[in-house]
Amino acid sequence: MTGSRRFIVTMLVPAFFFLICFYIYPTVFNIENSLTDLSLFGLKAGGAWVGIENYVELVSSRDFHRVLWNTVVWLTIVGVTVRIVLGLGLAFLLTSRTIRKYRLETISRVLLLVPWATPPIVAILIWRWMLDTRVGVVNGLLTGLGVIDQPIAFLATAAWVWPSLITIITWNTLPLVTLTFMASLQSLPSELVEAAEVDGATRLQVMRYVYIPHLKPAIVVMVLMSTFWTFNNFVYVWLTTGAGPGLYTNVMATEVYIKAFIDGRLGHSSAVGVVMATIMVIFGLIYLRVIARREFKEVF
């Protein structure tokens, strides 16, 4: 082994050490636990080998089907779609000529940063107070305007709990999406927009044939990144609704916690975690494929 190769290997040893300690070993340990009936109340005795029994139970469980639906559809697809659409709209608004005309760029960006600078726990507490049935300002405002006759239990009613939860998540995470799209819009050469307008293109045509193609890479990256951040989210769901009412808003992250530390079924909880990690690996492969293809096009 040459001196340069020995140096490279020496420098990589700490990285591989931390990779094995914090990623590979916990993954293998979790997979091993998922094949047992390990219990929180019998850690010392260990768990008996049950093979794929935990996974079979997951596949055949209606409760897990509901958890999977909540995670994939409500939390991820609906939540990410709302953020992307609103982020695009806000990005166009905050970079518009009207904002520049009235010199509102600074104040608009400061207001945009406020939700992003608010810690998730603080944001959740604020919104829980705002949506409260007795002292919440939302119910007070709607009642005062005559929109509703009685206060609505937004976080305890099946019809309102998911829209309320998505609103909280969107308010706290939307600024990052918006700022990303704003940065992409500001990198668009103004000559392209002016040329399209000179050729007689309408605003919708400029939007479709100039802005959207330019924003496409940023949109793809933000969709994939937002999917990562949302799919395994625990804090917003647990602190807002506690997976309730009942288990109506239970998602995979909260299911792992409930099975492990409330039901005491560590083996079953590990199986849920393995399924969750597998889905995230698929998302990760898609993300890497998209990024690699993008970088290849930029180089060539």
Q: How many other CB atoms sit within 10 Å of the CB of residue 34?
A: 25
Mean predicted confidence (pLDDT) in 214-222: 89
CATH class (in words) of the domain with range 76-218: mainly alpha
**What is the average pLDDT score of the chain?**
88
Tell me: the pLDDT tens digits for 180-191? Answer: 999 999 888 888
Predicted structure pTM score: 0.87
Tell me: the pLDDT tens digits for 267-285? Answer: 999 999 999 999 988 888 8
Q: Are 211 and 188 in contact (CB under 8 A)?
A: yes
DSSP designation for 40: G
- From 46-55, 143-152, 192-201, 254-263, the region with the lowest mean pLDDT: 192-201
Distance (Å, whole) CA 28 – CA 34: 10
pLDDT of 257 higher than 90: yes
Give the three-state DSSP class for 189: coil
Give the three-state DSSP class for 49: strand
pLDDT-based confidence at residue 3 (cuts at 50, 70, 90) = low
Mean predicted confidence (pLDDT) in 45-60: 90
What percent of the chain clears pLDDT 70, i.e. is strictly above it?
A: 96
CA atoms within 13 A on the CB side of 112: 21
- From 41-55, 126-140, 174-188, 251-265, the region with the lowest mean pLDDT: 41-55
DSSP designation for 39: B
CA atoms within 13 A on the CB side of 24: 7
